[in-house]
Amino acid sequence: MGRGEDPFWKYASKCKDASQSNPGFKCNYCGGSYAGSITRFKRHLAKIEGQGVNVCPAVPKDVQQEAYQAIVDPQSYCQGIRGPNRKRKTMSSLPNNNAAFTIPTSSGRQSENQVTDVGMTLRELLQTAEQEIGEEIGEGTTIALPGVGSEMENNAGGLVPPVNTLGDTLLTREVVGENFEKHMQSIWYWLMKDVLRIGIYGMGGVGKTELAKHLNNKLLQDPNKFHHVYWVNVSPNCSIHKLQNSIAKAVGINLSSEDDENKRAARLSKELTQNKRSILIFDDVWDYISLQDVGIPIHMNGCTLILTTRSFEVCRQTNCQETIEMKTLSGEEDWCLFKKEVGDKMTLSNYVEYIAKSIVSELQGLPLGIRTMARYMRGVVNIQQWRNARKGCIQRQVSEEISRKLKLSYDYLKDPALQQCFLHCALVEVDRWRDKEDLIQHLIDEG
C-alpha cells in the first residue's frame, strides 16, 4: 500500500533528512522516528509492545483504539472505513503466489518447519497483504485471507490456530463512579505490564465482584494478550481439594479419579502451563491460599492471578504485586446509582426526591444497600410509603439483606472478643478515628 494511501499516515510526518532510499518519518504525537513499515507504526500507535516496537506515550485514546482494531481485526476495520456496500473476494480468486508468504530462516534458507514459531509474523504479513491487494483491486472490496481471524494453512501443510480468548462472559450491572473507571484502567495497565498478582479488597457489598466481572468480560474481548480467562468462586473455609476441583472444572479437566492433592496439583500446573498466558480470577477469597499446593503456576508463561477479598491481609500474604481498595460511593455517586436502579423514567416530586435523598444518605454509599433499597421502592409514587421507608419500615428489610452479607464476616472471626469488636463498630461511626490504632485504643477503653 502506498505511503499516501494508508489512513494512518496522517498521524506521521516526513523527517527532514528523509530520502528515497531511507523514507523516514516521525510520529506526530511523541516525535518518535520510524522507517518503512506502516504496520510497525500502527503497533506503535496501538501500544502493542514487542518485535522492537516502542509504544507511543502520547497517542489519544480514540487513535489508539483505531490502530488496535486495524492490527487485531483488519477486516472489521476495513469494513468500517469503506462502508457496508462492498464486494468480497477470497484468496482462491487471487493469483497464487506462495513465494510471497515464504519466511526465510536466519541462514537465508526457506523453512517449512518453523511456522509455529513465526505464526504471528505470518499473520502480520497476511494482514499487510490484505491491505495492499485491496488497494490494487479498488475501493469497496474486502479481501478474506486465511489466517486473519480464522485458521490458516502453513507452508508445512498444517494449521496455525487463531488466537482466541477462551472463557465465559458473565452478567454484569451498570456501574457508576469515576473510581470504577480508574480501577479498570489501573488493572488493565498492570496486566499489560505483566504484573502477575493483583488483589482487589474492600468491605462486603462495595462492588469488588462487579469490578472483577467487568474485567473478565473485557479480557475476553481482547485476544492479543491472554488466551484463557478462568473465573473461580472461592468461599469461606474452602479446602485445597475443593478449590482444585473448581479450577479443574473451569479449565475443563477431570480430577475425580485422583485423591492425592500433590498429584492433582501437578496435573493442574501442567494443564495451566500448557494453556500459556492464562488469567485466573478468584472471587471472594477469605484465607491465604498456597498457590503452589493448589497447583497454580504464577509466572510469565503460566498464570496471572486476580483475586477479590474483604481482607488486605489476604492480598499481602498472597504476595500481590499491586492492590486496589474498593471504597463506598461518594458525593453524588450514591444518588446517581439509586436513580439508575429505581428507574431513570420514574419521575419523583420534589418532596419525594428530598425523602429519597435522605434515605440514600443513610446507606453511606454502600452499593449493595442502595441497590436493595431502590428495588423495594421501584414504582412507588405514594408519599406515605416513602415516609414509611424513611422511618424504617423498608430499611429493616434492607438491613436484613445486608446483614446476611455482613454475618459472613462476623461468623468468620470466630474469636468472641473480635466478634464483640465487630458489633461495636457496627453501632458507632468508625470514621471519627483517623487510623486503626485510635480505633483499637477506643475499643480497649470501652472494655
Give the pLDDT score at 359: 86
Amino acid 291: pLDDT: 93
State the span(s) of the chain assigned CATH 3.40.50.300: 178-325
Report the 10 Å Cβ neighbour count for 95: 7
Instruction: Determine the pLDDT at residue 282.
Output: 97
Long-range own/partner contacts, residues 270-274 (CB < 8 A, 24 or more apart): 272/296, 272/297, 272/302, 272/303, 273/297, 273/301, 273/302
- Cβ-in-10-Å burial (0-12, 13-18, 19+) of 408 comes to middle
- What per-residue confidence (pLDDT) applies to 230? 95
- pLDDT digit string (tens) for the chain, length 447 residues: 444 567 888 888 877 665 554 557 888 888 887 765 677 788 888 887 666 677 888 888 888 888 887 877 666 666 555 444 444 344 333 344 443 333 344 344 443 434 333 334 444 444 444 444 343 334 333 333 333 333 333 333 333 344 455 788 999 988 887 889 999 999 999 999 999 999 999 988 899 999 999 999 999 988 777 889 999 999 888 899 999 999 999 998 999 889 999 999 999 999 998 877 889 999 999 999 999 999 999 887 778 999 999 999 999 999 999 999 999 898 789 899 998 888 877 788 888 888 889 888 888 888 888 888 888 888 888 888 888 887 764 555 555 555 555 555 556 565 677 667 766 666 665 555 556 677 777 777 776
For 311-352, give the DSSP string: -HHHHHHTT-SEEEE-----TTHHHHHHHHHH-TT----HHH
- Which pLDDT belongs to residue 124? 47
Question: Is 257:244 a contact under the CB 8 Å cutoff?
Answer: no
Return the pLDDT at 197. Answer: 96
Give the global pTM.
Answer: 0.55
Domain 178-325 CATH class label: alpha beta
